[in-house]
C-alpha cells in the first residue's frame, strides 16, 4: 500500500493505493476506485474491499471524502453529495496520470452511501467502465423519509443563526452507544449494527469521528443518487445486498437501482443471512460478496 494525495478543486484528498501481489510498475493494470460510506474513512470497510480487490489483481484507490478524515476542504464534517461524486471523478483523474494504470479499464465500487455516490458518478463519468455496489443506499431515500420539512426548517434556522455569528452545529451520525440509541428510540438492528461497527473496537478508527455538519441535511434529503439511471447508467453493474432487511433500506435500494439501471449487463446478488453491517467486515459475508465482485471486474475491466 502507498499513501498518496490528489486534488479536488483547491484542496488535497488523502488516499491509499493498494497494489496486486507481484506488482510491476512497468506493466498496466485495471484499477478500481473504492468509495466509503457516510461517516466512514478509507481505513474502514472501503479499505478492506480495496485490499481484497488488490489481491484479486487490481490496483485500487480508496480515499477520505472531502471535508472529512485526513482530506482537506472547509467546512469540516460537511457531507455534500455533489462533492462526494466529484471526489470520485477526481480519483479517476488521478488514476489516469499513473503509468501503471490502464485508463481504459477503470471501475468503481461503493459501500452504503458510497454505493449511491459511485452509481451517480458513473452516470456522467464515462471513464468508469464497470460499477459495483455493496449494500448501496440512495441518500435522498435514506435521509428523506422522516420529518423532511421539519429538518429543512431547522436547517434554515441554523443557517440564519450562523449568518449572525453562531458556531456551526455539529451533530452525530449515530448515537455513541447502543444504550444511548435505545434511550432515544433508535434501536433498529441496522442502527445497532452501525454503532457496533463504528463505535467499538470492531471497526472504529480515530479519524472516523461520528461528526456531521447539520446543515449538510438540506443536500442529503434532496440528492437522488439514481436520478436518470434509466437513461445514463449503461455500464456493467454488479449489486450486492444482504437479505436481513433493516431500516437503512439498502436491500430496497439495491433492487431499485437494479430495476432502474439502463445497463444490459447487470446482476444483483443477495447474500443469505447477511445484514447491512455484516457486509462491512464479517469474513463469511464479505468473502461471498468478493466472490461475485472479483470475477465481475475481471470480466468487465
Q: What pLDDT, on the 0 to 100 scale, is given for residue 266?
A: 98
Q: What pLDDT, on the 0 to 100 scale, is given for residue 142?
A: 74
Q: What pLDDT, on the 0 to 100 scale, is given for residue 229?
A: 98
pTM greater than the 0.85 cutoff: yes
- Burial label for 250, CB within 10 Å (0-12, 13-18, 19+), is buried
Q: What pLDDT, on the 0 to 100 scale, is given for residue 242?
A: 98
Q: Which three cell numbers stand for residue 218?
A: 438540506
Q: What pLDDT, on the 0 to 100 scale, is given for residue 179?
A: 94
End-to-end Cα separation, the chain, in angstroms: 21
Going by C-alpha positions, the residue among 296, 242, 248 that lies closest to residue 271 is 242
CB distance 206 to 43 below 8 Å: no
Q: What pLDDT, on the 0 to 100 scale, is given for residue 160?
A: 98
Going by C-alpha positions, the residue among 19, 21, 16, 22 that lies closest to residue 34 is 16
Distance CA 227, CA 234 (A): 13
Pairing label, strands 11-18, 2-8: antiparallel
Q: What pLDDT, on the 0 to 100 scale, is given for residue 139?
A: 83
DSSP 157: H
Q: What pLDDT, on the 0 to 100 scale, is given for residue 146?
A: 73
Q: What pLDDT, on the 0 to 100 scale, is given for residue 54?
A: 98
Distance CA 15, CA 30 (A): 18
Q: What pLDDT, on the 0 to 100 scale, is given for residue 115?
A: 98
Which residues of the chain, if any, have pLDDT below 50?
Answer: none
CB distance 81 to 225 below 8 Å: yes
CB distance 34 to 50 below 8 Å: yes
Amino acid at each position: 500500500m502507498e499513501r498518496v494525495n490528489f486534488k479536488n478543486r483547491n484542496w488535497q484528498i488523502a488516499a491509499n493505493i493498494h497494489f496486486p501481489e507481484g506488482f510491476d510498475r512497468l506493466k498496466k493494470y485495471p484499477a478500481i476506485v473504492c468509495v466509503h460510506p457516510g461517516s466512514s474513512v478509507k481505513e474502514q470497510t472501503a479499505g478492506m474491499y480495496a485490499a481484497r480487490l488488490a489481491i484479486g489483481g487490481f490496483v485500487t484507490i480508496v480515499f477520505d471524502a472531502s471535508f472529512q478524515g485526513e482530506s482537506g476542504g472547509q467546512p469540516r464534517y460537511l457531507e455534500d453529495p455533489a462533492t462526494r461524486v466529484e471526489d470520485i471523478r477526481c480519483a479517476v483523474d488521478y488514476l489516469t496520470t499513473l503509468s501503471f494504470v490502464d485508463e481504459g479499464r477503470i471501475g468503481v465500487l461503493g459501500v452504503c452511501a458510497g454505493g449511491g455516490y459511485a452509481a451517480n458518478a458513473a452516470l456522467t463519468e464515462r471513464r468508469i467502465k464497470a460499477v459495483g455496489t455493496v449494500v448501496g443506499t440512495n441518500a435522498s431515500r435514506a435521509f428523506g423519509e422522516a420529518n423532511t420539512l421539519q429538518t429543512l426548517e431547522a436547517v434554515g434556522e441554523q443557517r440564519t443563526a450562523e449568518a449572525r455569528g453562531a458556531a456551526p452545529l455539529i451533530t452525530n451520525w449515530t448515537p455513541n452507544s447502543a444504550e444511548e440509541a435505545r434511550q432515544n428510540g433508535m434501536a433498529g438492528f441496522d442502527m445497532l449494527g452501525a454503532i457496533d461497527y463504528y463505535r467499538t473496537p470492531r471497526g472504529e478508527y480515530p479519524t472516523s469521528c461520528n461528526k456531521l455538519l447539520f446543515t449538510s441535511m438540506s443536500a442529503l434529503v434532496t440528492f437522488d443518487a439514481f436520478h436518470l439511471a434509466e437513461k445514463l447508467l449503461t455500464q456493467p453493474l454488479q449489486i450486492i445486498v444482504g437479505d436481513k432487511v433493516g431500516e437503512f433500506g439498502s436491500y430496497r435500494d439495491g433492487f431499485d437501482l437494479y430495476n432502474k439501471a439502463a445497463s444490459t449487463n447487470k446482476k444483483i446478488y443477495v447474500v443469505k443471512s447477511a445484514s447491512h453491517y455484516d457486509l462491512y467486515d464479517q469474513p463469511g459475508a464479505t468473502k461471498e460478496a468478493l466472490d461475485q465482485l472479483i470475477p465481475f471486474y475481471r470480466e468487465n475491466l
